[in-house]
Amino acid sequence: MNQMKKNFLPVRILAIETSCDETAAAILENGRVLLSSVVASQIEIHQQYGGVFPEVASRQHVRDIYRVVDQALQQAHMSLDNMDAIAATRGPGLAGSLVVGMNMAKGIAIGKQLPLIGVNHLESHIYSAWLYPDETPNPPAPPEFPLLALLVSGGHTELIIMKEHLVYQRLGGTLDDAAGEAFDKVARLFGLSYPGGPSIQNAAQTGNIKAFNFPRARMEGTWDFSFSGVKTSVLRVVQELEKSGRPLPVFDLAASFQESIVDVLFQKTLQAAKEFNVKNIIVAGGVSANQALRDRFLSQHEIPVFIPPLKYCTDNAAMVAAAGYFRFVHGKTDTLDIDVLPTWPISFTL
């Protein structure tokens, strides 16, 4: 890329996200200024299955992808001719879903002779902390390095040190279920709807967090997480209550379970942040939309915390564009023969 263009003219990235069950497109300027963001959700389609049905998800992406990209361009009042590069989620995610977005990006890259950038989905969640809408009167300062990112979603729960742009050190992660998976599975035990995170949060609002003393797996001596124990404990309590013939106290169960997850995520993250002397904490991923988790982090004043607005916590293309921008300006573009990587650890993104 021309050096003068990089320094003085706006760099606009069109990004596409299809890693799971959201079809999304966005346009971002200079890595932070969001010009448009469109997300077509499939939640209602997959609720009947109690989770994402991969083949159905990929077929729906095919139906939605052209419309979503076109809407993103219209929202930004731009065309493909105004773009400097095209970014797409390469992985991790569902193979069939990833292929739809990547092939769309490749087609645009070929047709408009644009650089192609394959982006790691987990990396994208971290970069959601850099976003702000175009109409923001006083743009917030970006996160400062070194920082600690808690990635917490349906498929991932990880602690990652970020020393500078695109440089990651994975401290630890879940050894079994991710936090979001635990929410989904426990929600089913309570008879609540999918996705489990919002359902449990809603039920917990009027519940007593101390009604049940569910275990916390501290995993002392490591930065890893484990949520299978609390899930099993909830199952046993539910079974005992059902045997007794008493109705399930769903609100109290939900509140107590949610507290057990939030407590471990918060305590472990804050401990790591202090030990590694980071300047900022980023909490990102779908579970970062949980209000109890947000409140816990934002109520402490020891280390500044960045948590994206709710609409950028779940999967979206704006975060892909942000990660894509920083890869682009660091010269990390890809050739057209790249393939998707359904299992792609963030530590191997460089």
For the chain, the structural domain boundaries read: 3-131+312-348, 147-307
147-307 fold: Nucleotidyltransferase; domain 5 (3.30.420)
Instruction: Record the pTM.
Output: 0.93
Neighbours of 325 (CB within 10 A): 27
| Residue 348, pLDDT score | 56
3-131+312-348 fold: Nucleotidyltransferase; domain 5 (3.30.420)
| Residue 346, pLDDT score | 86
- On whether the CB atoms of residues 250 and 204 are closer than 8 A, the answer is no
Distance CA 130, CA 323 (A): 9
The encoded tokens of residue 98 equal 């990833």
Starting at the edge strand found earlier in the chain, the sheet holding 33-41 runs 116-120, 85-91, 12-17, 22-29, 33-41, 132-133
The encoded tokens of residue 288 equal 């970062």
Distance CA 19, CA 42 (A): 12
| Residue 8, pLDDT score | 59
| Residue 44, pLDDT score | 81
Q: C-alpha angle 249/184/297, rounded to 5°?
A: 85
Q: Strand 280-284 vs strand 305-306: parallel, antiparallel, or unpaired?
A: parallel
3-state secondary structure of 305: strand
Does 147-307 match 3-131+312-348 at the fold level? yes
The 10 Å CB-count burial string (b at 16+, else e) for 78-111 is beeeebbbbbbbbbbbbebbbbbbbbbbbebbee
- In tens, the pLDDT along 258-301 reads 999 999 999 999 999 999 999 999 999 999 999 999 999 999 99
Q: Strand 12-17 vs strand 22-29: parallel, antiparallel, or unpaired?
A: antiparallel
**Residue-by-residue pLDDT tens, the chain, 350 positions:** 444 344 557 999 999 999 999 999 999 999 999 999 999 988 788 888 777 888 999 999 999 999 999 999 999 999 999 999 999 999 999 999 999 999 999 999 999 999 999 999 999 999 999 999 888 888 899 999 999 999 998 889 999 999 999 999 999 999 999 999 999 999 999 999 989 999 999 999 999 999 999 999 889 899 999 999 999 999 999 999 999 998 999 999 999 999 999 999 999 999 999 999 999 999 999 999 999 999 999 999 999 999 999 999 999 999 999 999 999 999 999 999 999 999 999 875 54
| Residue 51, pLDDT score | 78
